[in-house]
Amino acid sequence: MAPRVHIIGAGVAGLAAAIRLRHLGSAATVYEAARRAGGRCRSYHDPQLDCVIDNGNHLLMSGNTAAMAYLDEIGARDRVAGPADAAFPFVDAESKERWRVQPGAGVIPWWILDAKRRVPHTSPVDYLSALRLLSADDTRTVADCVGTDGPLYRNFWEPLTVGALNTPPTEAAAVLMRPVLMETFLKGAAACRPLVARANLADALIDPALAKLKAAGVDVRFGARLRALTLGRGVTALDIDGTTIEITGEDLVILAVPPWIAETLLPGLPVPPAGEPIVNVHFRLARPVTDEGDVKIVGVIGGLAQWVFARKHQGVDIASVTISAAAAVVELPGEEISRLCWRDVALALELGETAEPPSRVVKEHRATFAQTPQTLGLRPPTVTSWPNLLLAGDWTATGLPATIEGALRSGFKAAACAQQMLPTRKAA
Ligand SMILES: Cc1cc2nc3c(=O)[nH]c(=O)nc-3n(C[C@H](O)[C@H](O)[C@H](O)COP(=O)(O)OP(=O)(O)OC[C@H]3O[C@@H](n4cnc5c(N)ncnc54)[C@H](O)[C@@H]3O)c2cc1C
């Protein structure tokens, strides 16, 4: 019998693995515990707002090579959108000052010499702190490298670190910021365009992948939870909701579940602990802020909101707020979070004095793993000591932060390993 590949979890890591292995057709199966795919990157209809919302705004950058490759493979590059330029508008909620951070076209960051493109009240010399970050070893935090004083910290390093690593700079691992800088800001404007789903995450990243898998004959089973793995020298069986699936000779298993599930399925596997929550607030606006299909992104400094995303899709105008590293915010009542965020949204989008519209607060308690120096060594590699078991997920040893880019790369890598293992075994 032809070897089978069993992929557990239909988050973006599992979907990326499945997409790369779709040539196996019905010899590949995806098992997803939930009733929908996407995991921590999912969309659903919200009855209060009467529209589809995401569990959280997900920002990509045009320099995210795996994300762009994945979008191309699933035929969805046009389903993400962002401003035409690599420009990040900011507003200070306290001083009301507005500015744009705008990297230049070349790989040498000449733009920091231009006061109109860099963070206000900073000098080019301040940016040398990036060199300490780029050369940091894995014991250092971001704050160890860039300090915690001055406008560059408050207006650049802190929002960038919290946004990318969901961890305050005083705790965040400096080495995880290196790829963020190297693959985006230090590559020039073409790699620095912020991108988000034009309509929603399902439309951009999930549904087109599911359609590709269906067309290729890959079976994606929903409501199919892996309860246990039987382990000998390798995986010998899967318990999917009480049904035993034998794993024979050349079959492979790719486990693409979050770390808090992986540790229950593979006792003894060290995994990084969960980090801080992320809170999102979606407001259904009474009047448009963007044109149909366009997206506006504004960073807020000194408010409760950190990033505001406004989009219009099929006539529905939504402004969404992201609050990362939100341990202190998540315990507040939803109404209070909405009220405080609306103030920031109205400022960011220049709406003037307007009544707070209907909103939905989404609290993701386990958003990412804790991306600190202490957890780096707990990220396992793709290949395990069980010869037919591979791991994928944003928490595995990608060298990247826990992001869509990291999750996709982990899925691609697991698929590449599987591809190498399958023919070798066939030939044996
Ligand atoms: C609110 C929020 C905002 C974020 N913002 C950004 C952002 O702006 N940019 C960015 O790049 N990243 C962002 N992220 C991170 C990003 O969402 C994750 O890194 C990525 O989605 C992780 O994908 P994954 O496939 O590794 O894991 P998951 O999405 O957790 O997927 C794992 C899947 O496995 C399934 N599963 C679990 N247990 C079982 C089982 N026993 N059997 C079968 N299936 C199982 C789950 O249901 C899930 O579908 C954000 C995350 C959150 C929560």
pLDDT of 428 > 60? The answer is: no
Which of 109-123, 211-225, 360-374 has the lowest average pLDDT?
109-123
Average per-residue pLDDT for the chain: 95
Mind listing the pLDDT tens digit for each residue in 104-123?
888 888 888 999 999 999 99
**Ligand 1 binding site (Cβ under 6 Å of any ligand atom):** 8-14, 31-34, 39-41, 55-59, 225-226, 256-258, 261, 278, 280, 364, 367-368, 393-394, 402-405, 407
> Which of 30, 32, 41 to probe ligand 1 with, by most ligand atoms within 8 A of CB?
41
User: 5-41+202-274+370-427 belongs to which homologous superfamily?
Assistant: FAD/NAD(P)-binding domain (3.50.50.60)
Are the beta carbons of 197 and 58 closer than 8 angstroms? Answer: yes
Q: What is the pLDDT of residue 426?
A: 43
CA–CA gap between residue 215 and residue 79 (Å, rounded)? 20
Nearest-atom index, ligand 1, CA of 406? 19
Which DSSP helix (H) or strand (E) runs through 252? Answer: strand 252-255
pLDDT band at 136; cut points 50, 70, 90: very high
Q: Write the DSSP assignment of 47-106 as a string of letters.
A: TTTTEEEESS---EETT-HHHHHHHHHTT-GGGEE--SSS-EEEEETTT--EEEE---SS
As a whole number, mean pLDDT of residues 378-393 equals 97
Distances (CA, A) of 107 to 64, 88, 111, 117, 187: 16, 18, 10, 15, 5
Q: Which residue intervals of the chain bear CATH 3.50.50.60? A: 5-41+202-274+370-427
Mind listing the pLDDT tens digit for each residue in 265-286?
998 999 999 999 999 999 999 9
CA–CA gap between residue 36 and residue 54 (Å, rounded)? 13
pLDDT band at 10; cut points 50, 70, 90: very high
- 9 CA distance to ligand 1 centroid (A)? 9
Tokens of 90: 């900011």
Which residue type sits at 53? I
As a whole number, mean pLDDT of residues 359-380 equals 98
- Residues 6+ positions from 138 with CB-CB distance below 8 Å: 173, 174, 175, 373, 376
Closest listed residue to residue 255, CA positions, set 219, 223, 228: 228
Nearest-atom index, ligand 1, CA of 280? 1
Q: What is the pLDDT of residue 286?
A: 92
- 119 CA distance to ligand 1 centroid (A)? 32
Positive/negative CA dihedral, 18, 24, 26, 28: negative
Tokens of 197: 């789903």
Q: What is the pLDDT of residue 425?
A: 43
Q: What is the pLDDT of residue 20?
A: 98
- Residues 6+ positions from 181 with CB-CB distance below 8 Å: 130, 133, 134
Tokens of 339: 């009220």
CB environment 205-238: b (16+ within 10 A), e (fewer):
bbbbbbebbeebebebeeebebeebeeeebbbeb
Task: Select the more confidently predicted residue: 293 or 139.
Answer: 139
Q: What is the pLDDT of residue 294?
A: 87
Place of tokens 């060298």: 399
The answer to whether the pTM exceeds 0.85 is: yes
Mind listing the pLDDT tens digit for each residue in 56-104?
999 999 999 999 999 999 999 999 999 888 999 999 999 999 999 999 8
Q: What is the pLDDT of residue 423?
A: 61
pLDDT of 406 > 60? The answer is: yes
Distances (CA, A) of 287 to 3, 35, 36, 180, 316: 55, 34, 31, 35, 9
pLDDT band at 427; cut points 50, 70, 90: very low
Three-class SS state of 215:
helix
CA–CA gap between residue 85 and residue 83 (Å, rounded)? 5
Mind listing the pLDDT tens digit for each residue in 224-263?
999 999 999 999 999 999 999 999 989 999 999 999 999 9
CA–CA gap between residue 256 and residue 392 (Å, rounded)? 5
